[in-house]
Chains A and B, each alone.
Chain A
Amino acid sequence: MFDRLWAMLMKEFLELRRDRWAMFRLIVPLLIQVVAFGYAATFTVNHVATSVLDLDHSQASRGLVSHFVATGRFEVVDIAETQRQITRDLDTGRATVAIVIHAGFEQNLNNGRTAPLQVSVDGTNSNTALIALGYVSQIVAQFQAEQMANAWPAQAAAVSPSVSVLLQERPWFNAGLEDRWFFIPGVIGTLTLIQVVSLTAFAVVREREVGTLEQIMVSPIRPFEFILGKAVPFFLIGLGEVALITIFGVLWFHIPFVGSPLVMLLGASLFLLAALGLGLLLSTLSRTQQQAFALNFFVVNPLFILSGFAFPIAAMPRVLQWFTLINPLRYFLVIIRAEFLKGVGVDALWPDLSALALLGVGMFTLSILRFRKSLD
């Protein structure tokens, strides 16, 4: 059996080696996508284009605006003269945030009255708007506290020690709240899935299409050995990709890797088993490479969207959340991110690892059974 398996493996590796561009085609798009995700995939809110209408022209109003600018979250792109101009800025998208300071702002503050401050946010991008609004209220609170301390030391002293609850928030695992630390580990699972599934599906369908599958079947090689011979090279390629992107992410993007490479390897192996199984399954469902291509897209795309890669699973409708339970990528992403950022071991990850093991072994077995049938 090992002789035959060995012969099959040699054949596969020879085919890979003969195709001089194969490695190039595998690696270059991979790295381009990692770089693109690393730089482009960001939800941060900095330098938001801001339009200011200051009808007060006072020290306080200028102070407030400089509070906004000083955080680096907002950048004044237009000093408006009229309310119409503000509306125009938001309409055309020149500004995302508009601050209107009414006349009498400083006077009201100094006399202990409430000074209204109008802040309009373009809610088109709900995510940016939500985060920007959070910053706005923080900045205004900060400004108010300083104003009170300066202008009304007596009152400030009287009010502030009354009662106040302070929030000490500490983001763990990703203290700088870097989106990249979230996306680059995610890219590992996503790109590996896309490549391994399509490579496997195409490799088998190609043999079928060219007619070499029949030649192999009349040789003494058994179906199981054939599948293993196909699977092992792609398994190794998959592991190589995981390692490559991991190293690239750590060295180029300086993503910390605090976990254990062994747990990662375990997770990746189980995940690749599922991906190989899926690829083989698709190959049994398609006669031609074109069919494989179309089928591949219809299957892999939902796995990608419904994995929690970019969009939180908790934000999906219930039915789609159930679907994510049979998505191997979902579990692998949890494992990769945990190994990169949290550094937890098998004791914390066993639910995800066992789900992945179940899916991996299940899919691989299913594909072998179906594949044997499709040969008859």
Chain B
Amino acid sequence: MNPRRLFAIAFKETLQVWRDPRSLAIALLMPLMQMALLGYGVSLDIRRVPLCVYDQENSQTSRELVQRFVASKWFVVARVLSDERAVRDAMDRGTCIGAVTIPVNFSRILTTTGAASVQTVFDATDANTTTIAIGYAQGVIAQTTADFQARWAAAHGLRPQTVGGVDLEPRVWFNEGLDSRNFIIPGVVAVILGLVGAQLTSLTISREWERGTMEQLVSTPVTALEVMIGKLVPYFVIGLFDAAFCLCATAFWFQVPFRGSLGTLMLTTALFTLVVLGIGYLVSVRIRSQLGASQVALILTVMPINLLSGYTFPIDQMPAPIQAVTLVVYARYFVTILRAVFLKGSTIGDLAVPILALVLYAVAIIWIAARAFRKRLD
């Protein structure tokens, strides 16, 4: 290994990136655009569920019940309906996600038999939204019942709670406000870095082939290893710059709490960048057209990272064979690490397993990449 030759390759590659508008766009524009798009567009916070109300009774009690749905802030009344058919129609048209029907003798049943039911239908097309909306509705109803009972007890001269019960104290850790941004945005950093990194290096060797400069490169005294390292160094710097940008945006712009150590974050980010660049480089060695290489790099990164890294869909809920597949999705380890470092403040010791997996991956990829490139023209 000769430092002068290494430097020469790195310098040449830097110049090439600097003068290639396409590479520059990938390196600078893509992280910016993706961060804005995913940071704002990807949210699972289900609030203000549009609700249709069909109040058959229109009494003081039934109006209070409707008011309680609105006051909870989880629901907004999208439309007030006046007959049964309108409920079906509103659901068909997607005017609302839920429709509450309060029966005609609601308050009478409530006072005479003690238990009156409210029928709520939900448009369950989007199962996740519906599950959450049902949870909200149950919360509203439970609170209403508790308040009605307290009122009833007071009216009958009883103490509000005559019988003890289980007092549930739910506590949410790490993401106390249950804000889906805090969950998703750290993962977005891995998505962007994975995409951009592989795109950048996927062009590096294929460009030499396509432009016909491979002959020149082969005729120089550089070794294959020097080519690899020299070509990766500039992209590594760009990758770290992009990572720093995304991480700063996560912490300062989107205000995701950062509780871990900066050292762990830097170490793991560098590792992940190395893996991603290595994969792009490997693709570039194998595929000689720039277009083909970047397409393959896109296929290798987008789908696995989006779907199988756990960045939106929890891995532990997938069927076992798919869970096994996720073990080779390198982004999964980085997503785990990012979330833990940001929200949990985990230390290197807590994250030994995913960090080790990333180290293994990095070593393997670099080893394969180093052997893949031969100074030959056939």
Contact = CB atoms under 8 A, between A and B. Distances in A.
Contact of B137 (A36, A131, A169, A298): A169
Interface string B26-68: 1000100110011011111111101000000000000001000
B289 to A, nearest CB: 9
Given A45-B317, A46-B317, A120-B171, A160 B124 contact: no
B138 to A, nearest CB: 6
B215 interface: no
A254 to B, nearest CB: 15
A211 interface: no
B313 A148 contact: no
B328 interface: no
Interface residues of A, number: 105
B167 A125 contact: no
B22 A291 contact: yes
Contacts of B340: 93, 124
A37 interface: yes
Contacts of B50: 314
A357 B44 CA distance: 30
A170 B48 CA distance: 19
Interface stretch (A227-235, A238-246, A275-283, A303-311): A303-311
A174 B127 contact: yes
Interface residues of B, number: 107
B25 interface: yes
Given A92-B350, A159-B163, A305-B38, A123 B114 contact: no
B307 A41 contact: yes
A315 B46 contact: yes
A311 B125 contact: no
A40 B91 contact: no
Contact of B118 (A125, A165, A315): A165
A37 to B, nearest CB: 7
B371 to A, nearest CB: 28
A330 interface: no
* Chain B contact residues, majority secondary structure: helix
B135 A131 contact: yes
Contact of A125 (B111, B124, B314): B314
B182 interface: yes
A230 B110 CA distance: 68
Interface string B168-204: 1111111111111011000000000000000000000
A41 B344 contact: no
Interface stretch (B147-155, B263-271, B277-285, B355-363): B147-155
Given A114-B164, A169-B122, A41 B45 contact: no
A175 interface: yes
A137 B111 CA distance: 26
A37 B308 CA distance: 10
Interface string A288-317: 011101100110011001100011101111
A123 B176 contact: yes
B142 A137 contact: yes
Contact of A40 (B33, B116, B308): B308
Nearest to A334: B94
B126 interface: yes
Interface of A: 29, 33, 36-37, 39-47, 49, 64, 90-93, 108-109, 111-131, 133-134, 136-138, 140-141, 143-144, 147-148, 152, 155-156, 158-175, 177-179, 181-182, 289-291, 293-294, 297-298, 301-302, 305-306, 310-312, 314-317, 320, 334, 337-338, 341-342, 344, 348
10 tightest A-B contacts by CB? A134-B135, A171-B124, A123-B175, A161-B114, A174-B124, A43-B128, A123-B172, A166-B117, A177-B127, A315-B43
5 contacts: A36-B308, A92-B350, A128-B314, A165-B117, A165-B118
